[in-house]
Amino acid sequence: MPEVKLTSEELRYIALLQDLTGVTVHDCIVSEENNTVIYIVAPGQAGLAVGKGGANVKRLSKILGKRIEVVEYADDLEGLVRNLFLPARVLNTRLVSVNGKKVLYVTVDPKDKGIAIGKDGRNVVKARLVLKRYYDIDVVSIV
């Protein structure tokens, strides 16, 4: 896991989710332009973090006034990408360098393309934020 410096706001958000659910939170990314908080939780703890019927996420969203996303951590790129795009089925990933920028091509099952992209490209934006932080990837493209 790369060295990530957390802001006091991110630390508060992490403490809030941990106190509310008891899950182990690895990281928290706050995206002001998308009004979203992305939590990276320990493997196997996403369900606990989300809560029954999304109860924990709804409660947190109400408290913070932001959309809440929960992603399970994985210590390899492929695993993290699979977790970011769930429930879409990721078939493979290909990382290339284009004009000095790292571009990640994510191949998903054709039936899952809409799910992978998300409403208004929301899932691609989420993936780009997380993958920029962990792997310095500049562009995420669904193919």
- CATH at residue 130: 3.30.300.20
* Top-confidence residue, 4 or 30: 30
**pLDDT one-digit tens code per residue, 79-138:** 999 999 999 999 999 999 999 999 999 999 999 999 999 999 999 999 999 999 999 999
Task: Provide the 10 A C-beta neighbour count for residue 133.
Answer: 15
- Mean pLDDT, to the nearest integer, of 36-51? 96
Question: pTM (2 decimals)?
Answer: 0.92
- Shared-domain flag, residues 83 and 135: yes
Residue 2: pLDDT band (50, 70, 90) is: low
- Shared-domain flag, residues 68 and 21: yes
- DSSP secondary structure code for residue 143 in this structure: -
135 vs 113: CA distance, rounded Å: 23
- Shared-domain flag, residues 52 and 14: yes
DSSP 3-state of 72: strand
Residue 3 lies in a domain: no
**Strand 90-98 versus strand 101-108 pairing type:** antiparallel
- Shared-domain flag, residues 62 and 91: no
**pLDDT one-digit tens code per residue, 53-80:** 999 999 999 999 999 999 999 999 999 9
Domain that holds residue 66: 8-72
Last residue of a domain, one of 39, 54, 72: 72
| Amino acid identity, position 68 | I
